[in-house]
Amino acid sequence: MCGRVRLSSDYSEIKIKLKFDGPPPNFERDWNKPPTAPMLVAIRSMDGRRTPKMMRWGLLPHWAKDEKIAYSTFNARAEEFTGKPAFRDAWKNGQRCLVVTDGFYEWKKLDPTGKEKQPYAIAMADDGQMVMAGLWATWKDPKSGNEIQSCTILTTDSNGVMSDLHNRMPVILAEKDWARWLGEEPAINDELLAMLKPCNDSDLKIWQVDKRVGNVRNKGPELALAV
């Protein structure tokens, strides 16, 4: 799973790396983003531009009665999401996105009950952006009429280095696959689904961090420091 991410780079650096074409979103650096927080994503706009957006983390399908479903839709399993009611419309409609992060956190169980856990930070070995495969949707609140754009992160089996921490991990897309995932370059569904696999062990670095990251009120850069 992926339930906590970091987004700590300057937006100017991200814009260059992701080749964004559009006005900058209301962006704030954050070393501890939980589900329901605003996430920086890239989508393909109607006119074909790679556009940055801030979207709520936890996908709200158009048919949702309220926002509660978002607490269970911040991840979508790559093996089954195409048939799940919460995600299948976004997939069918081609509403794929790149979820832009600088990495994520995972907790290793230290005892059989899982009560004792140690958090670890995971980042790209080259310290670049960690770009995850995602889906997005637009939901209209039936009470207020307000529209909310939201997203989910696709997950897959863990690779070798992650398997010691958890049996799942986010789908981290190689830069060569970004354009096809967004629909900027042609790809059939089978080709897109083939991208949803663990990245290479050598792509990642992992280190132990302070348990303060477990409290979502803690947001600062000290959370990503090795302990």
Residue 101: the pLDDT is 98
Order of strands, sheet of 5-7, starting from the edge strand that comes earlier in the sequence: 30-33, 5-7, 103-109, 117-124, 204-208
17 CB neighbour count, 10 Å cutoff: 14
Please state the pTM of the whole predicted model: 0.96
- Based on the residue annotation, tell me whether 97 is a catalytic residue of this protein: no
pLDDT score of 73: 97
pLDDT (tens, 9 = 90+) of the chain, 227 residues, equals 689 999 999 999 999 999 999 888 998 899 999 999 999 999 999 899 999 999 999 999 999 999 999 999 999 999 999 999 999 999 999 999 999 999 999 999 988 877 899 999 999 999 999 999 999 999 999 889 999 999 999 999 999 999 999 999 999 999 999 999 999 999 999 999 999 999 999 999 999 999 999 999 999 999 999 99
Find the DSSP H helices in the chain: 11-18, 85-92, 175-182, 189-194
Residue 28 is among the residues annotated as catalytic for this protein: no
Catalytic residue among 97, 106, 151, 199: 106
What is the predicted pLDDT for the residue at 112? 82
Domains of the chain: 5-103+128-158+169-200 (3.90.1680.10)
**b/e code 153-182 from CB counts within 10 Å (16+ = b):** bbbbebbebbeebbebbbbbbeeebbbbbb
Among 227, 222, 178, smallest CA distance to 6 is for: 222
What confidence score (pLDDT) does residue 37 get? 96
